[in-house]
């Protein structure tokens, strides 16, 4: 029956959000125009009159922040806040779980293409407005092409990660909460590694850490890509690999999604078991770092510690606190299951 069905019917439910998405695109275009015009062209004037060749990319960190916020908002509008009702309705017809994902992915790709088109229009408008100035600066459009590559790769990686998280959760509230929790987890891990292990180990670890930070700076900030171009393209390749892996896993998870399991915050039972562990280790790292820094107030302790004992002590503190927090979380979950009816959990 599916092949005889007009595919346009499948997208009729999205007519309400098209106007919202178009308005959002126009708003993004205004912000991009303000960002590129105020930030980068003032730098170009400085470069021109101070005899410097360090031309910055039009798409800076503010532009990347606008891109990320835009994609997250579009994802929320396209997928909807409550997945169970939408999926139950669509699956009752001739559509499969993969069809639903393809529809959402098609709309997300359209939003990304709209963002790229707006970016090109803003660059063209500002280039024409500053035609006399830009004629003295070489390679402007090469920077624009590099920025488009950054936009495409970052958008693909973020979209695949969002779909991956959404395949594990039952509604958008949990999806967004999980996304911010994973981001916070990564930041805390970076801080823990940076404050503990880099102090203790030799230059190889430090050089590896500098390599990673340069990679992040070049992709998100567009910083010194002409100097660190090999590191920049390595970062892009890693993001592409992440995109492919998340896409493959998401496709497999989508086939296993059951509407009857969407009553819980997390769809799969295995993820429900992992979530308390991640939460307890997150709290353990935060509290452990605070306690360890408090112990280092006495400078004599820092002098006594060597390359082995320094990381071992902080790992021990984090492990003990994480175990305690995990026991507390499991106790709270058990109490909630016993006291509150299942439909409210």
pLDDT digits (tens, 9 = 90+) for 271-322: 777 878 888 888 888 888 787 777 665 555 555 555 556 677 777 888 888 8
Instruction: Look over the chain and give the mean of its residue pLDDT values, rounded to a whole number.
Output: 76
pLDDT of residue 99: 80
Give the pLDDT confidence of 85-122 residue by residue, as tens digits: 667 666 666 677 788 888 888 889 989 999 999 988 88
Domain ranges of the chain: 10-265, 268-345
Return phi, psi of residue 96, to 5°: -100, 175
- pLDDT given at position 240: 93
223-244 pLDDT, tens per residue?
666 667 788 888 889 999 999 9
d(CA 47, CA 51) in angstroms, rounded, equals 6
Does residue 10 carry a pLDDT above 60? no
The mean pLDDT of 328-338, rounded to a whole number, is: 78
Per cent of the chain over pLDDT 90 is 9
Model pLDDT for residues 184-221, shown as the tens digit of each residue: 888 888 777 666 665 555 556 667 777 777 787 778 77
> Is 119 or 174 the better-scoring residue by pLDDT?
119
Look at residues 80, 79, 85 and name the one whose alpha carbon lies nearest to residue 101: 79
φ, ψ for residue 126 (rounded to 5)?
A: -70, -30
The partner residues of 343 in beta bridges, in order of sequence, read none
Residue 4 confidence (pLDDT):
40
At 13-40, the pLDDT tens digits run: 566 677 778 888 888 888 888 777 766 5
Q: Which residues are 82's β-sheet partners?
A: 171
CA triple 26-27-31, angle to 5 deg = 115
Q: 57: left (phi > 0), else alpha (psi -120 to 50), else beta? A: beta
pLDDT at 345: 46
Retrieve residue 328's tokens: 């507390």
Top-confidence residue, 323 or 333: 323
pLDDT greater than 80 at residue 73: yes
The string of DSSP codes covering 174-230 is HHHHHHHHHHHHHHHHHHHIIIIIHHHS-HHHHHHHHHHHHHHIIIII-TTTTTSHH
Structural contact between residues 216 and 235, judged by C-beta atoms closer than 8 angstroms = yes
The number of C-alpha atoms within 13 Å of 140 and in the hemisphere containing its C-beta is 20
With contact defined as beta carbons under 8 Å apart, do 214 and 228 qualify? yes
Is the Cβ–Cβ distance between 260 and 243 less than 8 Å?
no
Q: How many CB atoms lie within 10 A of CB 86?
A: 15
Q: Is the pLDDT of residue 44 over 70?
A: no
SS3 content of the chain, % helix, strand, coil (to 5): 85, 0, 15
Stronger pLDDT, 296 or 323, i.e. the higher one: 323
Choice between 124 and 43, residue whose per-residue pLDDT is larger: 124
Angle between helices 229-256 and 203-216 (to 10 degrees): 70
Alpha-carbon gap, residue 51 to 79, rounded angstroms: 50
Above 70 in pLDDT, residue 159?
Answer: yes
48 vs 325: which has the higher pLDDT: 325
193, two tokens: 């590694």
CA 324 – CA 225 distance, rounded (Å): 45
User: Quick one: pLDDT band at residue 344, thresholds 50, 70, 90?
Assistant: very low
């Amino acid at each position: 029956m599916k092949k005889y069905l007009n595919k346009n019917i499948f997208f009729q439910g999205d007519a309400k959000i098209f106007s919202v998405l178009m308005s959002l695109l126009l708003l993004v275009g205004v912000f991009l125009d303000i960002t590129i015009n105020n930030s980068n062209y003032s730098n170009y004037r400085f470069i021109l009159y101070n005899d410097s060749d360090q031309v910055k990319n039009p798409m800076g960190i503010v532009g990347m922040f606008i891109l990320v916020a835009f994609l997250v908002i579009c994802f929320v509008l396209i997928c909807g806040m409550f997945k169970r009702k939408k999926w139950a309705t669509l699956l009752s017809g001739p559509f499969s779980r993969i069809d639903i994902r393809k529809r959402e992915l098609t709309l997300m790709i359209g939003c990304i293409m709209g963002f790229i088109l707006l970016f090109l229009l803003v660059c063209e408008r500002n280039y024409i407005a500053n035609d006399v100035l830009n004629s003295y600066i070489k390679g402007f459009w090469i920077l624009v092409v590099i920025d488009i590559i950054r936009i495409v790769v970052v958008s693909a990686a973020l979209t695949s990660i969002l779909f991956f998280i959404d395949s594990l959760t039952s509604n958008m509230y949990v999806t967004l909460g999980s996304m911010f929790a994973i981001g916070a987890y990564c930041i805390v891990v970076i801080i823990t590694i940076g404050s503990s292990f880099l102090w203790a180990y030799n230059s190889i670890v430090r050089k590896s850490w500098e390599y990673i930070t340069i990679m992040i700076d070049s992709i998100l900030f567009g910083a010194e890509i002409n100097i660190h171009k090999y590191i920049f393209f390595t970062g892009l390749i890693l993001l592409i690999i992440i995109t492919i892996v998340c896409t493959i896993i998401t496709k497999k998870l989508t086939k296993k999604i059951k509407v009857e399991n969407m009553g819980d915050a997390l769809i799969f039972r295995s993820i429900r078991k992992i979530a308390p562990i991640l939460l307890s280790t997150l709290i353990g790292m935060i509290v452990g770092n605070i306690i360890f820094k408090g112990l280092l107030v006495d400078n004599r302790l820092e002098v006594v510690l060597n390359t082995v004992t320094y990381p071992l002590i902080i790992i021990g503190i984090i492990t003990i606190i994480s175990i305690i927090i995990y026991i507390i979380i499991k106790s709270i979950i058990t109490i909630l299951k016993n006291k509150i009816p299942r439909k409210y959990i």
